[in-house]
Structure 1
């Protein structure tokens, strides 16, 4: 009866029943299959396919599912290629991993989960692309690299070597459930980017190397590379690409410039720093929000973004300081930080300071350190910076400042550059083309409405009241340091002022007027009317030649001529006073200013002074009272043509000075 029923059923139902029975039989076979009998054949097969020894040393078991399989191996040894330093890619007491079956058809290895017990890993990468973890015989083929999702370990060690990248690291890992949500701890020693590195930290027991859609795992790290120290705490979703980072960090170091070899971010040389903020990474975009801290004696705050998605990485952001200390600007132009600045950040070993680096006799004042323009080609940038107050400016009365820094294909532009100086403004642009060697550097700066009594605060204590100063600097040239650029620059430098008042004491000492000095000592300082003043230079290949140097007062007109050599830093000026008043006890002779920038010298011109001294000596021999006749000044000086003086100072001479000034003006935005 039953037989008849089965015979009467449709054919498709018979086939389905047979297929189900076959699957059941296959499942039973797989469940009870003695997988360990395949251990030796698998060892031989993997060894032959990869070209290196693979061995499951004790026991093998496999669980088969519809989409994948779970492989359990007691004792596993997988050798590295013969060119590797470490003998084993992996050696572990036990290994368990899930593997996708269908990708194997296209020879792609996908391992969603890998668990290792007491492993030692030997990872190495070579300049030609060879990697020890590539599974095929061609270890430079990226298609042979397995895709690993979650990785679990309960202790062990990892070595990673990449000599061409300056990386040689050893990590020890331990696992302890009593540590709560961060049971896995690690310690790292070695070198990174050529610098000594040490780090320690904790994570969850599951490392998400590539685990899309999985919750992030926690991570804490405290490490140091050279003089740079990092503390961070947060979460990561993709360890292989360092993606999905959400972390709070504290960063300290001697100079931000040291981050370039570590992170590839071309930051300038700075004083020691301590910064903190919130770090996020999504894909190729790194973001720092709420950045705050110190750069030497200055505070710093803002937000930054570093995008590596394009062919050239791009840095952008806005930074600000409530107080910026001038001592912190030295490293930007090749000077070491001052002792104050070098010791301003607790926990950072101070770099060499100005006091520790003694200037040799005859050494230059202008910074000669070669600026690292090569790193300007490593990225592009657009960063704005503003300082509400500038302090410790010594004799330069800077009040506040702001600048927009743009870096595009190796060309750096500080434009606009805006500084508050002595109640006025210094504004303009500086452009550095680092695609050329030496770099093409152009500076175009205009000074407007600066109060002269703030420029010379010592004279302000003499109750002086100066007029306002205008000026400009237009210089262009080539160089790889501040000194080499100025030593070959061309253009013009101008400073102009109109009517005002200031102390006559300076004038009388400059003119060596004994009677006026005596009057000052008896009656006190007196203010003198300033009619006009101009100081203009033509600059030709580093030589500043006076074009117009006039100081006209109600008492005296001073005319000056000479040169300042920016290459040799030598001074050679003669100042000729032409008094407008009659006076006795006057030994007015031309003043000679010489020496160098670092050691200037000054004095009267010997010839005219000697003539008056000899006359006084002869007359004094006849009658002491007649000696005074040789020191009487009849005052032949005349008022200067102030309008003509200021007009002449405004125009650079033809030739290299005019060409250099025109090039410098090209640094500004059109």
Structure 2
């Protein structure tokens, strides 16, 4: 018993002694004159980092597992290579710091609060950064881990040459009564070498680390060039722009301008307005519930941009209820459609005073020199900047250029610089055009391959602006198989080789169209008296071999119950010129006919069509000679005896559909 009592007394003495030591230690810590350590701390930190560090007024420390330090008047210089003199110069700096990580050379500050700070952050392309707390400023392990940052009445400057960033931001903290967004900010400068301005509000503490407890609210209003963004939501890690969950409104002049700002490769577009939800988790950005307009087309869908791999990947599905075809022009480099075609542009005042015939000649000359095929250069670097797997569909297509389109879809795949549109599907004139397009940007100039098949295109819908085809009946099929090299649509087609064929079986076409084509005055008079009537079409074919941008006819035949038309010629995709001869051979007798071959020439921008002047002059000459003898005999020269014969349609269509190197036109009848 006595031994037990003795041990109990000893234990109580030890406990009392330990408690007394703790009280003394607490009193020493609480009343310790920490200011006495300011100079030793200033010298130690400055010596360790090789740059000036100074607490100029007061130092207070509250020890604990997480220790709180308050320093009044802090001046922390930047390395000599930095453009800003100070990493931090603040009226007050208060921070929580974990002591255990300090033993391993790691600075872990769950909270940093700054009053009236001036912060100078700079990172160099070689990895040196001003906020690395080491003599070796390229050591990522020396970067402090800061949880939340509170800034009251301060300025932050951020310079990163590799990012094209030179940003100045100003912060001001309102009273607590300001609500959940007491921190206001303004920013300006350059991002990705593009000038921008921004302003907004945020929660009182900016979360800089992924280890923080909860995201903080934020509002953003930013403008860069003609692109503007409004966003509202929350962000978990401001330093890495991670853990974002927000709604956004985005509008601008052209979607492809987002490449400079965000690194996302998007096609050229007319002005756009988009809204939706934006989220970022694990380097994957997701834009969902997208709604908006591009030009006069609506747009909706979902997109994901995955930056976790070495090459970013864009995936998603986008659709339109109504696509205005003119809005696609920017994608392939077409000029925007307008009410005034380029060939009718105003001429100079001197030209305007010239005679009307001279003005018309000048206008035709201007039109002839204009190019139709798009010449916008393909940006090869952008095709190699990311991969993509996106589908797009349009339920209805408005054709302001009088194109008979009704719906379409495309699967876009971009892998290692190779762009594939496969499949491409379009509803055209009651039929369909389907196939694939492939562009390889890894070679210079880029290589393209395209194969498109047209099926069941209704003749009376195919050319809605041409009145003489509206009463026609029949279905057209075609095939386009081309390969080439170039960095624009014009250059690609100008170098293309392959095969083009258009075929049509039985149907009906306007008789007046045929008779005008053959200058058959007798049939034209019948039309004026009783109206146009359709004639039976037995078959039609136009096939071309294409080599280095030159289309050479393999077969051009149109066989009707009234006329057989044989043709031959060439079309230059490189020069955009036409040279085709159509030779009509009648199957009926007609008077007042000056039937002669029809020549189609000119350019794609200003095509011309008219009778072959040499052949027509011969026929007119005979008529004039006979008229000199007897006016009634002049009619004899215009009478067609109608020796034309039916074409072998089966052979015609088979021959036209079969690619071959011969350029000789297929004969489809005798004269």
Same fold judged by TM-score > 0.5? Answer: yes
Secondary structure at the aligned position of 1:106 is classed as coil
Per-residue deviation, residues 200-254 of structure 1 (Å, max 9, x unmatched): 0000111111152512211001111111100000111111111221111000011
Is it true that 1:89 corresponds to 2:96 in the alignment?
A: no
Displacement of 1:166 after TM fit? 1.5
Is it true that 1:405 corresponds to 2:412 in the alignment?
A: yes
Cα distance in 2 for residues equivalent to 1:13 and 1:407: 79
Secondary structure at the aligned position of 2:396 is classed as strand
> Per the alignment, do residues 154 and 458 of structure 1 end up closer, same or farther by CA in structure 2, a change over 3 Å counting?
closer
Cα distance in 2 for residues equivalent to 1:560 and 1:328: 37
Which ranges of structure 2 fall in alignment gaps of 5 or more residues? 347-362, 664-671
Displacement of 1:393 after TM fit? 4.5
The answer to whether the Cα contact below 8 Å between 2:265 and 2:382 also exists between their aligned partners in 1 is: yes
Number of the residue aligned with 2:464: 457
Is it true that 1:421 corresponds to 2:425 in the alignment?
A: no
Displacement of 1:594 after TM fit? 1.3
Displacement of 1:361 after TM fit? 6.5
Q: 1:122 aligns with which of 104, 120, 123?
A: 120
The answer to whether the Cα contact below 8 Å between 1:413 and 1:430 also exists between their aligned partners in 2 is: yes
Which ranges of structure 1 fall in alignment gaps of 5 or more residues? 341-351, 657-670
Cα distance in 2 for residues equivalent to 1:136 and 1:168: 24
The answer to whether the Cα contact below 8 Å between 2:518 and 2:595 also exists between their aligned partners in 1 is: yes
Is it true that 1:220 corresponds to 2:219 in the alignment?
A: yes
The answer to whether the Cα contact below 8 Å between 1:217 and 1:235 also exists between their aligned partners in 2 is: yes
Number of the residue aligned with 1:560: 567
Q: 2:510 aligns with which of 491, 503, 524?
A: 503
Cα distance in 1 for residues equivalent to 2:603 and 2:294: 33
Displacement of 1:55 after TM fit? 1.0
Displacement of 1:457 after TM fit? 2.0
Secondary structure at the aligned position of 2:198 is classed as strand
> Per the alignment, do residues 526 and 211 of structure 1 end up closer, same or farther by CA in structure 2, a change over 3 Å counting?
closer
Number of the residue aligned with 1:663: none
Number of the residue aligned with 2:353: none
Higher mean C-alpha displacement, 368-377 vs 646-655: 646-655
Displacement of 1:574 after TM fit? 0.9
Per-residue deviation, residues 585-617 of structure 1 (Å, max 9, x unmatched): 111111111111112122211222111111112
Secondary structure at the aligned position of 1:457 is classed as coil
Number of the residue aligned with 1:666: none
The answer to whether the Cα contact below 8 Å between 1:150 and 1:211 also exists between their aligned partners in 2 is: no
Number of the residue aligned with 1:164: 162
Cα distance in 2 for residues equivalent to 1:192 and 1:335: 30
| Alpha-carbon RMSD | 2.3
Displacement of 1:24 after TM fit? 4.0
Number of the residue aligned with 2:254: 255
Number of the residue aligned with 1:99: 97
Cα distance in 2 for residues equivalent to 1:152 and 1:207: 6
The answer to whether the Cα contact below 8 Å between 2:426 and 2:433 also exists between their aligned partners in 1 is: yes
Q: Superposed, which structure 2 residues align to 1:174-189 within 5 Å?
A: 174-177=172-175, 178-189=177-188
Q: Superposed, which structure 2 residues align to 1:167-316 within 5 Å?
A: 167-177=165-175, 178-316=177-315
Cα distance in 1 for residues equivalent to 2:169 and 2:367: 47
Cα distance in 2 for residues equivalent to 1:40 and 1:446: 83
Cα distance in 1 for residues equivalent to 2:469 and 2:62: 95
- When the two structures are aligned, how many residues end up with a matched partner? 640
Number of the residue aligned with 2:646: 639
Displacement of 1:41 after TM fit? 1.1
The answer to whether the Cα contact below 8 Å between 2:503 and 2:540 also exists between their aligned partners in 1 is: yes
Is it true that 1:149 corresponds to 2:156 in the alignment?
A: no
Q: 1:77 aligns with which of 61, 70, 75?
A: 75
The answer to whether the Cα contact below 8 Å between 1:538 and 1:546 also exists between their aligned partners in 2 is: yes
Displacement of 1:363 after TM fit? 3.3
Displacement of 1:428 after TM fit? 0.9
Cα distance in 1 for residues equivalent to 2:641 and 2:156: 93
Cα distance in 1 for residues equivalent to 2:401 and 2:377: 26
Number of the residue aligned with 1:345: none
Is it true that 1:483 corresponds to 2:483 in the alignment?
A: no
Number of the residue aligned with 2:352: none
Number of the residue aligned with 2:596: 589
Per-residue deviation, residues 176-216 of structure 1 (Å, max 9, x unmatched): 12432111101111111111100100001111111525122
Cα distance in 1 for residues equivalent to 2:181 and 2:245: 16
Per-residue deviation, residues 78-130 of structure 1 (Å, max 9, x unmatched): 11111111111111110100111111111111110000001111111111111
Secondary structure at the aligned position of 1:302 is classed as strand
Cα distance in 2 for residues equivalent to 1:97 and 1:206: 13
Cα distance in 1 for residues equivalent to 2:581 and 2:630: 34
TM-score by length of 1: 0.92
> Per the alignment, do residues 8 and 507 of structure 1 end up closer, same or farther by CA in structure 2, a change over 3 Å counting?
closer
Number of the residue aligned with 1:519: 526
TM-score by length of 2: 0.91
Displacement of 1:68 after TM fit? 2.8
